[in-house]
Every structure is written in C-alpha cells, then in structure tokens.
Amino acid sequence: MRYTQIVGPTRSAQPSKTHPYIATVALDPFHWTQFQQRSEDNPATVITNVDRSTPDLWTVTVACASEMVRDMLEQADW
C-alpha cells in the first residue's frame, strides 16, 4: 500500500486568490519531514492544517496554486 493516499481533493469553499485548490493527503508520519520541506520550498503550495489525531496516519490539508499542483500531490508516492 502506498504511504500517501488522497482522501478528498476538492476546490476550496473559500479559495484564496493565489491558492484556490485544496488537496487533503493522508500521510504516514514517517514521511512528514520530507513532505513539509518540499511544501515549504514550493511557493505553489501552502500547508493549511495537519491532523495528528491518528498516530499512524496524519491528514494534511494543502492549498495549491493550480489544479496541476493538486494533481501532482494526488499522484505522489511518499
């Protein structure tokens, strides 16, 4: 099974002008640091929330500048 699983990418209900698309990614905590570093280095993504309530699978909400960026997150294999 892949470590990264897209839970439900949708267009943001309240989009910002620069990041109107939202991806929700279920991520193994082992890969969190790598995911965070790549997101912070990329101006096309902004991490908006990290739900750590499940110890083995964190849910990360990422605002994306385009559908292409959102799609790339959906296809990522962390």
In DSSP notation, 2-51 reads -S-EE---EE-SS--SS--EEEEEEE-GGGHHHHHHHHHT-TTEEEEEEE
Is the per-residue pLDDT at 7 higher than 70? no
**Partners of 63 in the β-ladder:** 22, 46
Instruction: Check residue 15 and give its pLDDT.
Output: 58
Within 8 A by CB and 6+ apart from 23, the residues are 6, 9, 61, 62, 64, 70, 73, 74
Mean pLDDT of the chain: 83
pTM: 0.78
Is the per-residue pLDDT at 50 higher than 60? yes
pLDDT grade, residue 78 (50/70/90)?
A: low
